Structure 1
Amino acid sequence: MCFYDQYQMACNDFKWGHFRQHCSKEYRTGETCGMKLVMSTIPTREKCKLCTKIDTKEGRVVKEQERIARWVKEEQKGHQRGASIEASQALISTLKWEISELNYQRANNQQTTR
Structure 2
Amino acid sequence: MSKLYFTEDHEWINVDGSDAIVGISDYAQQALGDIVFVEIPEEGRALAKGDEAAVVESVKAASEVYAPVSGTVVAGNSALEEEPALVNTASQSDGWFFRMQLSDPAELEGLMDEAAYATYIQGLDG
Same fold (TM over 0.5): no
Relative contact order (alpha carbons < 8 A, sep ≥ 6): 1 or 2 greater? 2
Structure with bigger strand share is 2
The TM-score bracket by the shorter chain reads: under 0.3
TM-score w.r.t. the length of structure 2 is: 0.20
Q: Which has the larger radius of gyration?
A: 1
